Amino acid sequence: MSYKIPLMPSTTSRSFLPVIFILFFAQPVCAQIRIETGFEGGNARVLQINNRLNLVKITSELKAGEKHPVAILCRISGFDRKRPLKVVLPVIDRLYIPFSAFYSVDAVRWEKTPATIGKRTAEYLVPTEGQRVYFSTHYPYRYSDLENYLRKIAVNEKVGISDLDMLETGIRVPMVRIAGVNHEQQYAAWIIARQHAFESNPSFVVEGLIDKLLSGDPEMEQLIGKTVFYIVPMMDVKAVIEGRAGKDQEPGDFNRDWNRVSAWSAITAFRGKMRSESKKYRANAFIDIHNPWPGNKDACINYLAFSLYSSGSQRGRNLDLFLSTLNGICGFDICIRPMFDSKGKTSIHWVNEEIDALDFAFILEVGFLKRPDGRDWDTLGYRELGGSMVNAFRGCLGNR
């Protein structure tokens, strides 16, 4: 703790100087809390800093015409390390408030801290183990994390990494192709994620899925000997880098803009790629992975599949087979919901209309809180789900 010595007024009696000096010398200087966002994915707007209470009140900065203050990632320093730091979020909409937020001292290992939610504010107590702490409303998974992961898998001969799209800033939208070597594949499976930038849980699912495909297990070798996997781990890379939510942004929400002419070049590029590759391989499946609003209790506990099919249709039966296989592997059931209404065309609307030889397509929403079996959702659980999805593919696609 630091102290300050005030300047003494010249009129003070010399006999009282030692006493006054001691009293003033013992006064501590309040910690000066700082909040920083000037790094990849950073986003926070400061509403209040109270050094005396070791408290900060923040919300998300809305950028690019966005409407939902749901994405927060910031670095906090200068707090009193002898007390927990209190982080307060205003309750603008209950759906935006996570039941648990995340903190880290190194921006690598993240821990959960539960919310105390009132009518107007939600409070999170953050341990102060170091000189600074990172606070986030989601498990952060940045564009640089994806680049590091792709460098790791690129050495595998079964992996091909190409640029699906290149933004005007020179940033690429990577696509991963996984296929067995010296095989003539007949089928293709397509997976995309992060159409909404703040929905980071799918990034860990994708890593688990890829890791399982490349595990070298005989069952996986058989699968990728028959089926090519095309995976776009991060569709809206620009919003991820800028720390934006992405949902309902201008000029259009990514997953409402799969119309005939899309405002987003990544969507246009993906559709062109899927059309051309579907002439070579039959497109078995398309899965678009998301996560729900962090304050949606039902969706955060379960994980959901949104489908366009009636149960009696052929594609509906194909999807039922895949999901029942996945449920058996996971040990808990996915909740199937009819597709929500949307102002624009979603990814699965386009795929179902444009790709004739398709077995099934659906949107997967991965929760935040507890899985249906009572276990907490965490990054390990998301990766395990990705591996389970691959095993479900094997049961449906690789054993025709």
CATH code for the domain of 257: 3.40.630.10
Say whether both 148 and 70 belong to one domain: no
Residues 50, 186 within the same domain:
no
Coil, helix or strand at residue 332: coil
Does residue 13 form part of some domain? no
228 and 339 together in one domain? yes
**Residue 225 token pair:** 């000997």
- Asked if pLDDT for residue 302 goes beyond 90, the answer is no
Tallying the residues shown for the chain, one arrives at 400
Residues 120 and 157 in one domain: no
pLDDT tens readout for residues 342-370: 778 999 999 999 999 899 999 999 988 88
Residue 289 domain-assigned (yes or no): yes
* pLDDT tens, position by position, 171-196: 999 999 999 998 888 999 999 999 99
Domain-located, residue 113: yes
Say if residue 2's pLDDT is above 50.
no
- Domain match, 168 and 295 both: yes
pLDDT by residue (tens digit) across 45-82? 999 999 999 999 999 999 888 899 999 999 999 999 99
Residue ranges with strand state E in the chain: 34-36, 45-50, 55-59, 73-77, 85-90, 100-104, 111-117, 121-126, 132-136, 159-166, 172-178, 187-193, 227-232, 282-290, 304-307, 335-338, 360-365
Q: Could you tell me the pLDDT band of residue 312, with boundaries at 50, 70 and 90? A: confident
- Choose one of 90, 112, 136: the last residue of a domain: 136
Q: Is 2 a member of any domain?
A: no
What global pTM score does this model have? 0.90
Range of the domain at 307: 143-396
Burial class of 351 by CB neighbour count within 10 A (0 to 12, 13 to 18, 19+) = buried
Please tell me whether residues 309 and 205 are part of one structural domain: yes
Q: Are residues 116 and 231 in the same domain?
A: no
Are residues 344 and 213 part of one domain?
yes
Residue 283, in any domain of the structure: yes
For residue 18, cis peptide bond before it (omega within 30 degrees of 0) = no
116 lies in the same domain as 261: no
Together in a domain, 290 and 152: yes
Last residue of a domain, one of 85, 102, 136: 136
pLDDT in tens, 133-159: 999 999 999 999 999 999 999 999 999
Question: For the segment 268-294, what is each residue's pLDDT rounded down to a tens digit?
Answer: 999 999 999 999 999 889 999 999 999
Domains of the chain: total: 2
Distances (CA, A) of 87 to 72, 127, 161: 12, 11, 40
Tens digit of each residue's pLDDT (9 = 90 or more) over 96-126: 999 999 999 999 999 999 999 999 999 999 9
Residue 178 is encoded by which pair of tokens? 């996984």
User: In this structure, are residues 316 and 307 in contact, taking their beta carbons and an 8 Å threshold?
Assistant: yes
